[in-house]
Amino acid sequence: MKPFIEKVKQENIGIVKENEPLSNHTTWKIGGPADVLVEPDHVESVKKLMDLIGLYGVPWRVIGRGSNLLVADGGIEGVVIKLGKGMDHLEIKDDTIQVGGGYPLIKLATVISREGLAGLEFAGGIPGSVGGAVFMNAGAHGSDVSNILKKALVLFPDGRLEWIKGEDMDFSYRTSRLQREKGICVEAVFQLEKGDKAEIVKHMQANKDYRRDSQPWKHPTCGSVFRNPLPNYAGQLIEEAGLKGFQIGGAQISTMHANFIVNIENAKAQDVLDLINHVKQTIKTKYDIDIETEVEMIGRPKEND
């Protein structure tokens, strides 16, 4: 890793941090160290970094704001690419916006609503980045990214940088082709609609208020943990199974919303994983329903655990 890290530093790609605790970069505040964390400052910097990763054969993965992500206590081997500063540009042209993959989604929804543009109100309370939202087809309140994405600039592991149209993203519930092809959304173009600014702001604020009042944000959380096994809802099943407030280690099923796991006391990733498995087994036993996580679980177990 050392030759790779030194080369990355020489290329002035962005911020480079060795043995960086990923608990500093996830909304759960959980996760062991990355061998190296790199925050590229430009699209071309990401491409240059990927070229070096290919040249040195280094394992890699990308994160945005670290929501919907459980990093193991042993951390992550190789390089973690974080899209943040320098990858958070925004350009507004009439009813179309072009935005960097590192732009915070909640901030974007707020800014855009004040411009009198409709279509992003659903994102007012989703903790994540634009790139992560495209990757996951993030959604809420009956809408999602697939409804507004015009195209995305995607960097593939082989170094290709390609614009992909929204209709070619193979979107489905919390899913896109990027999950299959390991593509990094470094930029997105959203097609919105002009509307009444006051009504749009009101609508978006109502969505934010609903999430604030019905979901737990006083403790670190990643957002919803389980996919809804439609026509059922994960939170309702977990609550009816009597699991609200159930706790393992420092991780607890929220007493406010059963599809959230909160870090109430320095939780470890293993606490969360054990809690997830307990929920799965309970729901299977009680209702014969398989529920799957929408959280991505990555990294290596901690030695001697």
DSSP string across 230-266: TTS-HHHHHHHTT-TT-EETTEEE-SS-TT-EEE-SS
Which of 214, 248, 269 is a domain's end point?
214
On whether residue 75 sits in a domain, the answer given is yes
Sequence-separated (6 or more) residues with CB below 8 Å from residue 104? 65, 88, 128, 129, 130
100 and 193, same structural domain? yes
Domains identified in the chain, total number:
3
Name the residue among 29, 9, 4, 31 with its Cα closest to residue 20.
31
Options 20, 39, 187, 294, the catalytic residue: 294
Options 61, 65, 174, 211, the catalytic residue: 174
**Whole-number pLDDT of residue 304:** 55
User: Any idea of the CA torsion for 58, 62, 68, 73, to the nearest 10 degrees?
Assistant: 30
Please report, as a single letter, which amino acid is at residue 269. A
On whether residue 305 sits in a domain, the answer given is no
**Whole-number pLDDT of residue 258:** 96
Q: How many CA atoms lie within 13 A of 98 on its CB side?
A: 5
On whether residue 220 sits in a domain, the answer given is no
On whether residue 222 sits in a domain, the answer given is no
**Whole-number pLDDT of residue 288:** 97
Question: If residue 275 lies in a helix (H) or strand (E), which one and from where to where?
Answer: helix 269-287
How many other β-carbons are positioned within 10 Å of the β-carbon of residue 301? Answer: 13
On whether residue 98 sits in a domain, the answer given is yes
Distances (CA, A) of 150 to 90, 163, 185: 15, 10, 13
Options 23, 129, 176, 224, the catalytic residue: 224
**Whole-number pLDDT of residue 131:** 94
Which of 214, 244, 260 is a domain's end point?
214
In this predicted model, what pLDDT tens digit does every residue of 77-116 receive, in sequence order? 999 999 878 899 999 999 999 999 999 999 999 999 999 9
* Residue 174 appears among annotated catalytic residues: yes
Which of 30, 59, 82 is a domain's end point?
82
On whether residue 292 sits in a domain, the answer given is yes
Regions in the chain scoring below 70 on pLDDT: 303-305
* Residue 143 appears among annotated catalytic residues: no
210 and 98, same structural domain? yes
**Domain ranges, residue 111:** 90-214
User: Encoding tokens for residue 207?
Assistant: 């969505």
The CA distance from 140 to 142, in Å, is: 6
* Residue 294 appears among annotated catalytic residues: yes
The helix/strand/coil state of 45 is helix
158 and 103, same structural domain? yes
